[in-house]
Amino acid sequence: MEAGNKSDNFWYKDVVFYELHVRTFCDSNGDGVGDFKGLTTKLDYLQWLDVDCIWLLPFYPSPLKDDGYDVSDFYSIHPDLGTIEDFRVFVHEAHKRGIKVIVDLVFNHVSSEHSWFKEARSHPESQKKSWFIWSDTNKKNISARIIFSDTEKSNWAWDDEAKAYYWHRFYGYQPDLNYDNPEVREEMKNVMRFWLDTGIDGFRCDAVPYIFDRDGTSSENLPETHLFFREGRKMLDEEYPGRILLAEVNQWPTEAISYFGNGDEFHMLFNFPLMPRIFIALAKEHYQPVADIINQTKSIPEACQWAIFLRNHDELTLEMTNDEERDVMWREYAKHPKMRFNLGIRRRLAPLADNDRLRIELLYGLLFSLPGSPLIYYGDELGMGDNIFLGDRNGVRTPMQWSPDKNAGFSSADSEQLYLPVITNPNYHYEAINVYAEKRLPYSLLNWMKNVIGIRKQKKAFGRGYIEILKPSNTKILAFIREYDDERILCIFNLSRHAQYFELNLGQYAGMIPVEMFGNTNFPAIKKEPYSFTLTGHRFMWFELRKNTSV
């Protein structure tokens, strides 16, 4: 089976991920909805941008009440998006360009429109009945929290047809599968095999901590859950070596890290604890929130890697923050009530940074140099805006902006026909914020992004290196060293809006030359004494520490 270049099984440590929705990316047939054929025509753009691995949001048949996370058939493609053949062509064309593909797989639940659930609810003796979790009462397992707190009042929903309650951790129309049933476990492994056989490079595994439930517990992170995914991993290693499992595990560091197992469970996890703390550090102009969480998350098995992100298709979740941290986030980043959603903030990156180019660059500077493989959410490389009035999380899922033409070049349909309207807010209007316009401007955010990705790729230390957070003389400065083999990179960030002076004790590197990596510019050699720097507001610098060969 074709699966990109399998020569290095740690490939996922060096990649830049690009997350996109087929529906939002490019419409090839003018029906107002993106599709696989359209996406395939945009692979050259992704290759130009230099991203290495695409994460596709769910593309399966679905009533689309949760943007495709309500799957009604795991073995097919939503008809709006194309056919299995279109999918295969897309994967093949991506691989031809050296781009890998991972796909979202929703393990925890299905749509209530899925034939499994329809059959289960239809009569008590149905063969599929035990594929779901039923109860006569909604008073069981009440210690499990409600995740979609804005809309759901209980994790039980009454089904008139079955005359019983069924269990769901997300929306009421997303019944949870019953993983205590071995048939369910086997079926989901078959779903994995089905997609792996198309040549994909792995899965982004949705809502991992919740697949098993036990009365009287939080029904999160249960040992059975770990066991199931360890079995899945074993299957992958034996039958599809080189493919990866990336988990959505929105948990505190200790619980999250447990999903790496001994390097025998997930290859990758999103670093949910780190993400909000990057924003908190910026709001507080203090290095501590990031330093603390990095120190808690830096020791993981050698074969494992964090996926680090600033934004994705969901709200910027604040589940992994305490009350004080949450207050900072609401105050700084959610000034309008519509910006809040469940326990999070539904905004894109540029609006979160108040469209301040320096703050956007600083955030990306952190993303591209902290430990892990970074993820770009489609459109954020352009500084796309959002629309907080669209409901649910649709405001951050509007069409990709390709050009100043009709519908931002996304679709030739009438604008009323688009699955969601394009962004026309004057500060983020698609006529200016689009691929065509930004490609032509040498100093656009898009060209800056391409450049920063290229610079990151020159050094393995960014993806694979050890991190040591340095103790700055000034708490508004975050400084760290990334180190791998003979590579040493010093990264410094001014989290404050004003210029800052600071000193770093770099004595152990005495004699080395810091070379600024964007301009390849030599700085004075490091001495035993503290090294002094000045950074203007919200600026960052990366230095390669090179041996001084002139002495």
The site string for ligand NOJ over 90-109 (x = CB under 6 A, - otherwise) reads: ----------------x---
| 321 versus 394: smaller Cβ distance to ligand NOJ | 394
Q: Which of 60, 117, 165, 170 binds ligand NOJ (CB under 6 A)?
A: 170
Separation of alpha carbons 190 and 95, rounded Å: 24
| 28 versus 62: smaller Cβ distance to ligand NOJ | 62
Q: Which residue is nearest to ligand NOJ (CB)?
A: 69
Least spacing, CB of residue 277 vs ligand NOJ, in Å:
20
Residue labelled with tokens 């989290």: 495
Separation of alpha carbons 167 and 141, rounded Å: 10
| 248 versus 386: smaller Cβ distance to ligand NOJ | 248
H or E element, residue 245: strand 244-247
Least spacing, CB of residue 107 vs ligand NOJ, in Å:
10
Least spacing, CB of residue 321 vs ligand NOJ, in Å:
18
| 294 versus 308: smaller Cβ distance to ligand NOJ | 308
Select from 299, 268, 216, 290 the least CA-distant residue to 100: 268
Least spacing, CB of residue 397 vs ligand NOJ, in Å:
10
Crossing angle of helices 445-457 and 357-367, in 10° steps, is: 20
Select from 378, 382, 398, 401 the least CA-distant residue to 390: 398
The site string for ligand NOJ over 7-46 (x = CB under 6 A, - otherwise) reads: ----------------------------------------
Crossing angle of helices 274-284 and 288-297, in 10° steps, is: 160
Q: Which of 207, 367, 400, 423 binds ligand NOJ (CB under 6 A)?
A: 207
Backbone angles phi, psi at 245, to 5 degrees: -120, 120
Least spacing, CB of residue 415 vs ligand NOJ, in Å:
26
Q: Which of residues 321-380 bind ligand NOJ (CB under 6 A)?
A: none
| 179 versus 480: smaller Cβ distance to ligand NOJ | 179
Q: Which of residues 243-282 bind ligand NOJ (CB under 6 A)?
A: 248
Within 10 angstroms of residue 417's Cβ, the number of other Cβ atoms is: 14
H or E element, residue 40: helix 36-41
Pairing of strands 340-341, 344-345: antiparallel
Token pair, residue 381, equals 């490389």
Least spacing, CB of residue 177 vs ligand NOJ, in Å:
12
Per CB under 6 A, does 220 bind ligand NOJ? no
Q: Which of 86, 159, 314, 381 binds ligand NOJ (CB under 6 A)?
A: 314
In this structure, which amino acid lies at residue 547? K
Least spacing, CB of residue 445 vs ligand NOJ, in Å:
25
H or E element, residue 532: strand 531-535
Least spacing, CB of residue 133 vs ligand NOJ, in Å:
16
Backbone angles phi, psi at 531, to 5 degrees: -95, 135
Least spacing, CB of residue 155 vs ligand NOJ, in Å:
13
Per CB under 6 A, does 167 bind ligand NOJ? no
Within 10 angstroms of residue 48's Cβ, the number of other Cβ atoms is: 13
Judged by CB under 6 A, the number of residues near ligand NOJ is: 9
Helix, coil or strand: residue 446: helix
Instruction: Check if the beta carbon of residue 538 is closer than 8 Å to that of residue 498.
Output: no
| 58 versus 289: smaller Cβ distance to ligand NOJ | 58
Buried b (16+ CB within 10 A) or exposed e, 453-488: bebbbebebbbbbebebbebebbbbbbbbbbeeebb
| 78 versus 313: smaller Cβ distance to ligand NOJ | 313
Catalytic status, residue 319:
no
Catalytic residue among 19, 104, 152, 248: 248
Q: Which of 55, 69, 203, 228 binds ligand NOJ (CB under 6 A)?
A: 69
Select from 214, 17, 230 the least CA-distant residue to 103: 17
H or E element, residue 468: strand 466-469
Catalytic residue among 19, 80, 86, 206: 206
Per CB under 6 A, does 206 bind ligand NOJ? yes
3-state secondary structure 305-339: EEEEECCCCCCEECCCCCHHHHHHHHHHHCCCHHH
Task: Please list the residues that pair with 56 across neighbouring strands.
Answer: 20, 103
Q: Which of residues 375-414 bind ligand NOJ (CB under 6 A)?
A: none
| 69 versus 287: smaller Cβ distance to ligand NOJ | 69
Per CB under 6 A, does 66 bind ligand NOJ? yes
Per CB under 6 A, does 59 bind ligand NOJ? no
Select from 365, 395, 334, 330 the least CA-distant residue to 495: 365
Catalytic status, residue 206:
yes
| 225 versus 444: smaller Cβ distance to ligand NOJ | 225
| Cα 81 from chain centre | 22
The residues assigned a catalytic role are 206, 248
- Judged by the rule CB under 6 A, the positions of this chain that interact with ligand NOJ are 66, 69, 106, 170, 206-207, 248, 313-314
